[in-house]
Structure 1
């Protein structure tokens, strides 16, 4: 299948004919965070092999590519947010690129184009690295920063499934609570790395490695890995550009040294996360081998919100030091050790320099975004930059940097936090974690989703350079192990009726309703080819299970839908390309009615294309058009050619 290049033009993505293109796709895939074949968190590891791993086979072995890409195309998607990691490219050491993996990644990207997929490449990370409970950066980055990753678990410096989990027992475990991995960004190891990555030159100007400041060592290596991928894919017509860095954490940039975040405050208006409420000073003390006691926030099991109930956590009770040499922050004058405690010397150390307030947006994200633009556009000047800031900051209204590269897309993420953390969904009793308000109907949930997504997407994008930019919801989705994996139990019992997915379909349908209302692009999280209906495994990473596909649900009787979960929730009609500009789109799943209206421009020499999946119209549909245009119905699609300028409205009504 030939694919026409799509490029950003102001607030739109346009194809070569000038049609407005709507990008609707998935993240491919959840297991790209970990090495192949046994690098998932469902396998024990001490990470001693971190320099020898391989990511060839993520997102799938090449011999399976056509099967998976064909299934995704059958479901109507035309976009892939294709995951890679810094570790996948440069795990062996600084400047030592995995050429075989790069060849593999290029081939996956090329085949995606053959199946009709536009691609933007995401250098993914969570909580800095696999060694700090997430994924992303290579293990050698800790060595460069003077940290001993073999001591992290004993020091309480990282919360890692492989060190906490009883693999013989399986299932859910109190030692590794579901969705607890995110707390690593506040624990010493990841927080130190993020702070050095963003602010090494500012905070630790004398911390040099082979003559370069540690910030330059880390950032230049990250950008170098991105450059290697960009060089390989620069001539592929289906590549749209690169993501800046998945869900970057700010470290301690902009924080008071002793500040503990217990809830929204003047210092930090965002909601607090469950787990230990650590200040930068607490973490620095623990990294030095001191035992630290801090408040511990608890998640309410009914609302998902974090509360201070007077509990505490003791960090590093065994007094294990993780530095291999001096602490660069102590050396720079942030604090000093006095006996068995750390004493703050400069409360403003991480947030004020020369009388100027330091912010992560302007001093961290902005410079990186511009460097990503420079590095990638040196290979292809037409590419877009898909930018995102930290999700907690975005939820609290943290602004994007003022000085953005031209052709920057707002690629922010959004999840319904209550569904994500509680792993349950009931539209008649749905909590807003930010406000505590309770929705009691699907319409109220839909309105909330629309407001929240707009806050993350269309509102910030309207302020981007050049009169605004496209919004592409880079991640959203649901855990499929709702209600302790009840649907999996039903599947194992032999159930195949769609009703087992009712809650999943309802949640996804409301999310896509909001996306349609806001007329934004989207990439659902996620499609994992290796996913299992196993609460220990899921997507193969930290017990997350958000994949719309599972190998355990492969069923030849389902045809091209084999392995799909809650397909009716995401496989929906939409306008892939418009001969003009979109005005309105709406789908009523229960009534089986789809409506799309656009301002038609017959000067555009290609028709409007509408995807019309059989799963939503099992008995077919009746088509009607308002406006001067003619339509042709093909397999799972309708093309409409306008004869005159003006509004055209298409209706599909299920029979």
Structure 2
């Protein structure tokens, strides 16, 4: 949503300039003003995350018109990346985000001029049932949960995605400046983000070697009408039906002002349930722009004379008759008009989607050869078959997948007794969806893990085992049980739900970025977008926290740190004295190794000050900033995490209830010179006041801290031929042995943790 004028999805369009200011909005300051960056970035680090998926939109860059870029916004993003680089220990990639095409069709993403380019009039979408907008709901607070997603199967989004990916196939008459609408839209989308990345490269090229990872392709692309077998019927793959749900031909007729009686649906555990019918009458209003609106002159469009404004573009290609409403070609989008080939979702992903990805990849590689390019296929669909195909993949290609628990999304409740195997049902693994039911919390957690593993396997099989995977979206809603937690402060359900997702990701060793961190989240309106409420942090959950500004990150840390925080009981502790290290006999059983000797080292501390130097005997110099206030479901969200691993992770498990952490690593690499430790964050949320014990099977380690983080540096590289193990567990008694060691700061460790420097 824009920063100025403020246009959150619950706001009345008549009072926030929703349509009138569409060309002149600014996104500068989203997600937060740069002077607030130290706080938010430090909190993200303190939660254990090291990667940020920076959500931006096509509209943020090119809202004024085709080819007109917002230079101030580009400079804002440059400033944001400078902050990331200064704070350290964080990586970032750009997400060209969209949902249901645009906020003018109920989501976010594309600028308003793209609708006018396609011949559509956004002001008429609600009346013609072409889109369902939170902004226009009679009671925004009771907007139907997840109904925004049904816009993918309403006219506005269906038209835009069809034209964007397959306009040259299905609408050859639709041309602007003698260029088909498909090429016109794709070119402008790709060039807008090429401009943004180029701006970063020209202004701050060094971040490509420090914190800037690269760019994702379009978020959650959709195939539009492509592959629809019968326009009289909703497509079989349309799992989500809520409120009034028109069939494709009903959408087309409504868009031309015809009245229709439409089926109404609600959601049940077994899928959509029909609850009645509703009469919808646009009263002659059309979803298509007319010549009288003068939008072509305003934006400089030179439209083909074969493309008549004010009439459905598909009717102009013989699909149906706008005079009688008769459907002439019900399978128009299922059969290729030229080849006669039958079309389906798989053909889309391996055809039009790949064509778009190829153009996107080629253009971004012109800007930088080394940054990561992250390909995102349509959500929950099987990735394209491109293994070993250099046109589509190189050694810096990544596949992006998304996963949410559908039951939790639709019902905004963590049901510990009943769930469904969503992926298994979508893949047709059950004769009847009822066989996809999952009973009991333990089995539900296993089912989530199985689904994540299945999605990763599909990607490896089709794209290649050497192509990394990242789940760029996963998460759980926090407004469960009708926001009960906001009244009593009990986030038990949210913790259980989030732990189920995060444990599954850990056990399958899958990389991810969590949806989401929203600095503006509040209890009344959640993330300020369609009543979604996913932010791990909310200002309404935050006790009074007053932070001072700082001209640099070091200055900010000094201004806001609490001096003299004591991590050991009593004040007579002898600092700097060596402890005795003892060996105990034990056996680890693991499928890859049997380790007969376990080296146990009680807590070994090495505290560091702001300059990366040992704090020595000066205990009062220890600094700490607690930014966990306002973090929700905190016991699940904040968890131990390996930030830098020397070797391959075999097992990584955290038990939220017992707070035990288990890590197994194999194939460590020995490098002469600088030590190459594994670095594991041990958050103070679980491990503080020496209430924990660390055991390692080999090597030695140091417990380190800076003002916002606590981590272990574990040197085990001399055991490269073994599986090495670390266990962390909480204990009742305090460990009182402390060793201070000098902090040897190398580049890899600096990247991983963001060591502080006076340089």
Residue in 1 that maps onto 2:502: 512
Residue 20 of structure 2 corresponds to which residue in structure 1?
48
- Aligned 8 A contact 1:602 1:641 in 2: no
List runs of 5+ in structure 1 lacking aligned partners: 1-32, 492-499
Give the C-alpha shift of residue 35 in structure 1. Answer: 3.7
Give distance in 2, aligned partners of 1:578 and 1:41: 42
Checking the alignment, whether the CA contact within 8 Å between 2:99 and 2:108 is kept in structure 1 is: yes
Name the residue aligned to 2:536. Answer: 548
d(CA) in 1 for partners of 2:410, 2:95:
24
Residue 523 (structure 2) aligned to one of 514, 533, 536: 533
Instruction: Pick closer, same or farther for the CA change 1:384–1:291 going to 2, 3 Å.
Output: same
- State how far apart, in whole Å, the 2-side matches of 1:400 and 1:523 are: 25
By how many angstroms is 1:166 displaced?
A: 3.4
Asked if the contact 1:617/1:654 (under 8 Å) is kept, the reply is: yes
**Where in structure 2 are the equivalents of 1:356-375 lying within 5 Å?**
356-358=341-343, 359-375=347-363
Paired position in structure 1 for 2:71: 99
1:277-296, aligned counterparts within 5 Å?
277-296=245-264
Note the C-alpha offset of 1:345. 2.8
Change (3 A) 1:347 1:426: closer
2:260 & 2:692 partners in 1: Cα distance? 65
Task: Decide which of 149, 157, 178 is 2:122's aligned counterpart.
Answer: 149
The equivalent position to 2:317 in structure 1, one of 311, 315, 332, is 332
Alignment of 1:631 with 2:630, yes or no, is no
Displacement of 1:239 in angstroms is 1.5
SS at match of 2:513: strand
**TM-fit CA distance, 1:275:** 4.0
Q: For residues 180-230 of structure 1, what are the alpha-carbon distances to aligned partners after superposition, in whole Å with 9 as ceiling and x for unaligned?
A: 101111111111111101111111112111211111111111001110111
Measured after TM superposition, the shift of residue 591 of structure 1 is 1.8
SS at match of 1:533: coil
| Cα distance change of structure 1 residues 360 and 463 upon mapping to structure 2, 3 Å threshold | closer
Q: Which position in structure 1 is the counterpart of 2:640? A: 573
> 1:503 & 1:349 partners in 2: Cα distance?
44
Partners in 2 of 1:244 and 1:342 — Cα distance? Answer: 38
Equivalent position of 1:355 in the other structure: 340
Q: CA deviation at 1:401?
A: 6.2
Quote how far apart the aligned CAs of 1:240 are.
Answer: 1.4
| Distance change >3 Å, CA 350–CA 632, structure 1 → 2 | same
- Structure 2 SS opposite 1:386: strand
Instruction: Normalising by structure 2, report the TM-score.
Output: 0.75
Aligned position for 1:195: 162
Q: Distance in 2 between the 1:549 and 1:441 partners?
A: 29
Of 174, 194, 209, 1:227 maps to: 194
Contact 1:36–1:54, Cα closer than 8 Å, also in 2: yes
Matched with 2:720 is: 645
- Equivalent residue number for residue 609 of structure 2: none
Contact in 2 for aligned 1:75/1:571 (Cα 8 Å): yes
Secondary structure at the counterpart of residue 455 of structure 1: helix
Query: Equivalences for 1:446-525 in 2 at 5 Å?
Result: 446-465=445-464, 467-491=465-489, 500-525=490-515
- How far did 1:245 drift? 0.8
Query: Any conservation in 2 of the 1:458–1:518 contact (CA below 8 Å)?
Result: no
Q: Residues 573 and 594 of structure 1 are in contact (CA less than 8 Å); yes or no, is this contact kept in structure 2?
A: yes
Contact 1:37/1:57, CA 8 A, preserved across alignment: no
Counterpart of 1:245 (choices 215, 218, 231) is 218
User: Which of 153, 159, 165 is residue 132 of structure 2 equivalent to?
Assistant: 159
**Aligned partners of 1:571, 1:523: CA distance in 2, in Å?**
14
Deviation at 1:400, TM superposition (A): 6.0
Which residue of 2 is the match for residue 306 of structure 1?
Answer: 272
8 Å contact kept, 2:232–2:330: no
* Matching residue of 2:649: 582
The alpha carbon displacement at 1:571 in A equals 0.8
For the residue of structure 2 that corresponds to 1:156, the secondary structure is: coil
Q: Deviations over 1:146-185 (max 9, x none)?
A: 1111211222211011111436xxx3x2xx2121101111
Residue 315 of structure 1 deviates from its aligned partner by 4.1
Identify if the C-alpha distance between structure 1 residues 352 and 34 changes in structure 2 by more than 3 Å, giving closer, same or farther.
same
| 1:82 counterpart (30, 54, 68) | 54
**Contact 1:515/1:521 (CA < 8 Å) preserved in 2?**
yes
The structural deviation recorded for 1:249 is: 1.7
Q: Which has the larger radius of gyration?
A: 2
* CA separation of 1:508 and 1:191: change in aligned 2, threshold 3 A: same
Q: Shift in Å at residue 42 of structure 1?
A: 2.7
Give the deviation of 1:277 after TM superposition. 4.3
Query: Which residue of the partner structure matches residue 124 of structure 1?
Result: 97
Are 1:379 and 2:367 counterparts? yes
Alignment partners' CA distance in 2, 1:611 and 1:351: 54
Contact preservation (8 Å) 2:53, 2:513: yes
The 1:556–1:345 alpha-carbon spacing in structure 2 relative to 1, beyond 3 Å, is: closer
CA distance in structure 1 between the partners assigned to 2:248 and 2:21 by the alignment = 31
Q: Is the 8 A contact 1:600 1:645 kept in 2?
A: yes
State the distance in 2 between where 1:65 and 1:473 align.
25
Deviation at 1:272, TM superposition (A): 4.3
**Structure 2 counterpart of 1:444:** 443
From 608, 616, 641, the equivalent of 2:678 is: 608
Query: Does residue 1:217 correspond to 2:291, yes or no?
Result: no
Tell me what 1:562 maps to: 629
- Identify the range of structure 1 (136-145 vs 281-290) with the bigger mean alpha-carbon deviation: 281-290
User: Partners in 2 of 1:106 and 1:582 — Cα distance?
Assistant: 34
TM-score, normalised by the number of residues in structure 1: 0.86
Tell me how far 1:276 sits from its aligned partner: 4.2
SS of the residue 1:590 aligns to: coil
Residues 9-50 of structure 1 deviation map (CA, whole Å, 9 limit, x = unaligned): xxxxxxxxxxxxxxxxxxxxxxxx444461211322142210
Could you tell me how far apart the structure 2 residues matched to 1:318 and 1:413 are?
A: 40
Please tell me whether the aligned partners of residues 248 and 390 of structure 1 are also in contact (alpha carbons under 8 angstroms).
yes
Call closer, same or farther: CA 1:546–1:400 in 2, change over 3 Å: farther
Aligned to 2:285: 320
Instruction: Give the structure, 1 or 2, with the largest relative contact order (CA under 8 Å, sep 6 or more).
Output: 1
**The residue matched to 1:367 in structure 2 has which SS?**
helix
Distance (Å, rounded) in 2 between the aligned partners of 1:317 and 1:100: 40
Distance apart, 1:606 and its partner CA: 1.9
Q: 1:261 aligns with which of 234, 256, 259?
A: 234
Structure 2 SS opposite 1:468: coil
Contact (CA 8 Å) 1:579, 1:606: kept in 2 or not?
A: yes
Q: What is the CA-CA distance between 1:124 and the residue it aligns to? A: 0.5
- Contact 1:291–1:314 (8 Å) recurs in 2: yes
Please give the alpha-carbon distance, in whole angstroms, between the structure 2 residues aligned to 1:243 and 1:207.
Answer: 29
- Offset at 1:533? 1.1
Aligned counterparts of 1:458 and 1:111: Cα–Cα separation in 2 = 37
C-alpha separation in 2, matches of 1:486 and 1:252 = 40
